[in-house]
Amino acid sequence: MSGLRRVTGRQVVELPDAELATLRAGYRAVLLDVGTGDGKHAVHTARQRPDWLVVGLDANRDNMRRAARRAAANPARGGLPNLLFVWAAAEQLPAALTGVAELHVLMPWGSLLRGLLGVDGQILATLRAACAPGAGFLVTLNLHAWRPPVPEVGGVAEPTPQWALDDLGATYARHGWQLTGAHYADAAQVEALGTSWSRRLRASRDRFDVLALTGTMGDAGSRGSGQPGGREGG
């Protein structure tokens, strides 16, 4: 698919490739938030990084409507010119979405969760193709998906940092993802993501709810900072 289906509220409009290119030229890099849901994390990130173009993408357009309408408003009324919401599935990303410098996938469910667990390699390959070499990635897994396990986890046991680094890391590597970090997120880290899950997930010392995975795409250091939260990019 060429062009982006941009959600601006109730409406969905086609954003031609040339307009996307013009928009991109005004920013230092692109951050893609896949499975953005209600878009709170994308809004939070766009506010934190006014010099980045943030793209929140989801297969379901309904949950993003509210954030999309506000983002598309006049900046004087709280609009965010550096934030786009796009209606697309991770399996079929718009062809125009290339050279992404940082990828976030927070609390995936459904086919997106299957993809990030490597149960279905197509999503890993598609997301890798949208990113620039050296792009940083941040994936956060909601461990409640294993308590009890939802069908999408496909027989994968509840992930631990060690399993992620050893087993999942090997699967990721086959698709060009270099997984370099895996840790349980504490309450402050979950809160800092700014997603609407923050209130629902209360990581504690006794029971961890979120596993954070970080790394880079392809050859580390060739483009971008390679670190989610970094301020450089391609």
Ligand X SMILES: C[S@@+](CC[C@H](N)C(=O)[O-])C[C@H]1O[C@@H](n2cnc3c(N)ncnc32)[C@H](O)[C@@H]1O
| Interacting residues toward ligand X by CB under 6 A | 34-37, 41, 58-60, 63, 89-91, 106-112, 195-197
In the complex, minimum distance from the CB of residue 92 to ligand X, in angstroms, rounded to a whole number: 9
Listed residue (223, 228, 3, 233) closest to 97, CA to CA: 3
| Residue whose CB is less far from ligand X, 29 or 127 | 127
In the complex, minimum distance from the CB of residue 227 to ligand X, in angstroms, rounded to a whole number: 20
* Residue 121 CB neighbours (<10 A): 14
d(CA 23, CA 10): 22
User: Would you say 113 and 152 are in contact if contact means Cβ atoms under 8 Å apart?
Assistant: yes
| Residue whose CB is less far from ligand X, 62 or 166 | 62
b/e per residue 82-117 (b: at least 16 CB within 10 A)? bbbbbbbbbeebbebbebbbbbbbbbbeebbbbbbb
The residue nearest ligand X at its CB is: 37
| Residue whose CB is less far from ligand X, 36 or 134 | 36
| Residue whose CB is less far from ligand X, 35 or 134 | 35
In the complex, minimum distance from the CB of residue 219 to ligand X, in angstroms, rounded to a whole number: 27
In the complex, minimum distance from the CB of residue 88 to ligand X, in angstroms, rounded to a whole number: 7
